[in-house]
A and B are shown apart, each in its own frame.
Chain A
């Protein structure tokens, strides 16, 4: 017996943008994932949207943490010394 995979059921762009996060998280069920894969391959605006979301994540992940100021370092040293003398 042979199985022919039917083309994925239609999904609208407005639904797609609500599923992009789960798509990127890899938490979508396989059938939903295939529907989105298919949609991205035939819908350039949604493919653009997906690319923008990836770029957004990259930029957010590139935010650099602020360093501890010398004054703060001093305060934390004092906290440590306070704790050492408690015991």
Chain B
């Protein structure tokens, strides 16, 4: 009877790996400039994309990101490690981006609509609720057929058309891999709202890809 092997696996799985961010944080506190640049580059793209959901101009978004990092450096002693560094960073960024966005006075046309938006157009169902125009099978070699670049462009275009909070939720969850609770913390959302926004956003992305498939001969 071997009870040791399972126990060993158990212990291993629950060992928390050292967050590479925390090592970099230590080094930058000690004056290591390279550690800072490495840390920045690990988070720059998600931060810039998130900033862009609140402000129109790329230049302003870049300023928001730089401003966030300066704020992070100045407040580094206040980081207590209760959340991950990434969650902490993104929450600071959202605060600043909201302020900058308000200053930029972006149009309200892109605001989230409170009313129900169907995941699939109601016209594709019979009045009974069964499919009348069901989704077609997607081919397995989707990426080869359509091309990774075209798919990427399609996804980015669909993201760009989403209302800001929806886009922010989908990017943080599905592109950047944050957990639901981290997204709630970063964007100051309730769990229920996060789920609704994610659901609508994912449904739109699926529809965008379906449209793209439809344009390709089978």
Contact = CB atoms under 8 A, between A and B. Distances in A.
Do A and B make up one complex?
Answer: yes
Interface of A: 12-15, 17-18, 20-22, 25, 27, 44-46, 48-49, 51-53, 55-57, 59-61, 63, 65-68, 72-73, 75-77, 79-84, 86
B24 to A, nearest CB: 12
Given A18-B199, A56-B202, 14 more contacts: A12-B129, A13-B125, A25-B195, A44-B134, A51-B138, A55-B142, A60-B155, A60-B205, A63-B152, A67-B45, A76-B36, A80-B28, A83-B73, A84-B31
Contacts of B203: 17, 20-21
A59 B45 contact: no
B198 interface: yes
**B contacts with A: majority SS:** helix
A61 B195 contact: no
Contacts of B31: 84
Q: Chain A binding site: helix, strand, loop or mixed by DSSP? A: helix
Contacts, number: 124
Contacts of B177: 61
Interface string B139-181: 0001100000001100110000000000000100011010010
Interface residues of B, number: 51
A86 B131 contact: no
B122 interface: yes
Contact of B202 (A53, A67, A86): A53
Contact of A56 (B122, B195, B205): B205
A45 to B, nearest CB: 3
Contacts of B28: 80
B132 to A, nearest CB: 10
B22 interface: no
A21 B36 contact: no
